[in-house]
Amino acid sequence: MSKAPAFQFYVRDWLSDPELQMTSSATRGVWINALCFMWESKERGKLEGTMEELAKILNSTNGDFEQFLKDVETHKFCDVRICNTNVTLINRRMYREQKERENTRLRVARLRSNAKCNASVTVLSSSSSSLKENIIKEKTSFGEFQNVKLTDSEYQKLLSLFGPDQCKEKIETLSQYIASKGKKYSSHYATILSWERKNKNKNSKSW
């Protein structure tokens, strides 16, 4: 599978991160370049090389790169491992989110594969229209407690509406609520949209 051409960059997170904003402009410049190279690396979220090599590819002077490493050690906005002159930078958030996207892709692929298998088994006793309906309605479990049920179509719509991070957050919120309250909903997709609409109405009234 080809790599996605872009990663999620949250401007508010970048501007409001107190640890990051305590660093110099040079450090922040090195860090944003590092994020880009981490995304393009073979193992996303990880960047390795000697101090000289990393300083060169990150378009930084040796002095600025050494200061960047000191800032990372002080403010902890990423993990750094130093062994002699070799340096490893690790962005655990990028690495984790990439794994979650890959797991989601595999889950959707399995769902589609299972749907095709089910269709081939029941084709002799069902019409083509009813087969399509059954495939569309088949749901997959999501969330920490695997209690949020969504069809492939519903999940793709949520991704389109909210993006991967907010979509995951809304699913996890519903999953935890169902687990703690024992609530039952006829449509988890409709529940997420309903909650989002209520939040927007609530926020609009506060102005």
Domains and CATH numbers, the chain: 11-90 (1.10.10.10), 96-183+191-197 (no CATH)
Q: Each residue of 137-178: pLDDT tens digit?
A: 678 888 888 999 998 888 889 988 998 889 999 999 999 999
Give the H/E segment covering residue 81.
strand 79-83
Give pLDDT, residue 6. 76
Q: Which residues, 6 or more positions from 30, have their beta carbon under 8 angstroms from its beta carbon?
A: 58, 60, 64, 65, 68
Q: Read off the pTM.
A: 0.48
Would you say residue 83 has pLDDT above 70? yes
pLDDT grade, residue 2 (50/70/90)?
low
Query: What is the pLDDT averaged over residues 189-204?
Result: 86
Closest C-alpha to 23, from 57, 66, 72:
72
Go through 56-82 and write b for each residue having 16 or more CB atoms within 10 A of its CB, e for each that does not: eebebeeebbebbbebbeebebbeeee
Residue 207: pLDDT band by 50, 70, 90 thresholds? very low
Q: Which two tokens stand for residue 22?
A: 């305590």
Query: Half-sphere exposure (CA, 13 Å, Cβ side) for 190?
Result: 4
Per-residue pLDDT tens over the stretch 9-46: 878 888 888 888 899 999 999 999 999 998 888 888 88
Q: What is the pLDDT of residue 50?
A: 94
